[in-house]
Amino acid sequence: DTAVSQTPKYLVTQMGNDKSIKCEQNLGHDTMYWYKQDSKKFLKIMFSYNNKELIINETVPNRFSPKSPDKAHLNLHINSLELGDSAVYFCASSQDQGLGLYEQYFGPGTRLTVT
């Protein structure tokens, strides 16, 4: 009965590789997000999608490309991984971003380590 799930939970890879993180929510929410939490625990928004449409695209290197095949899924693909990409990536969803009135439900996170 997991509300927001992410795979994989851990990802260890070498610099220069390309990797993807998958996210699925079964809450029927319209909006999904990707956040990056660095070693200092600072949680920063990267992207948000509403009904498969990109709404927020923060200052993120274009090596990061989100893809939303349907409103229940939001995947994150990262090209040419760099050491600085090492962090925990969280997927989240909320009911209605347009009204901005609803809390966000977070996934368990994906710990990415780039060596």
Partner 1 sequence: SQKIEQNSEALNIQEGKTATLTCNYTNYSPAYLQWYRQDPGRGPVFLLLIRENEKEKRKERLKVTFDTTLKQSLFHITASQPADSATYLCALSNAGKSTFGDGTTLTVKP
Beta carbon nearer to partner 1, 104 or 113:
104
The distance of closest approach from Cβ of residue 5 to partner 1 in the complex, given in angstroms and rounded to an integer, is: 11
The distance of closest approach from Cβ of residue 79 to partner 1 in the complex, given in angstroms and rounded to an integer, is: 25
Residues of this chain, 12-51, that bind partner 1 according to CB under 8 A: 31, 35, 40-45, 48, 50
One residue of 7, 13, 55, 65 binding partner 1 per CB under 8 A: 55
CA–CA distance, 62 with 79 (Å, rounded to integer):
9
Per-residue burial over 12-29, b if 16 or more Cβ lie within 10 Å, else e, is: ebeeeeebebbbbbeeeb
Residues of this chain, 57-96, that bind partner 1 according to CB under 8 A: 90, 92
One residue of 7, 65, 95, 104 binding partner 1 per CB under 8 A: 104
**Token pair 């347009």 in the structure block, residue:** 98
List all residues 6 or more positions away from 55 whose beta carbon is below 8 Å from its beta carbon: 31, 48, 49, 97
Query: Which of 29, 63, 30 is closest to 46 using CA atoms?
Result: 63
Binding site for partner 1 (CB under 8 A): 4, 31, 35, 40-45, 48, 50, 55-56, 90, 92, 97-98, 100-101, 103-109
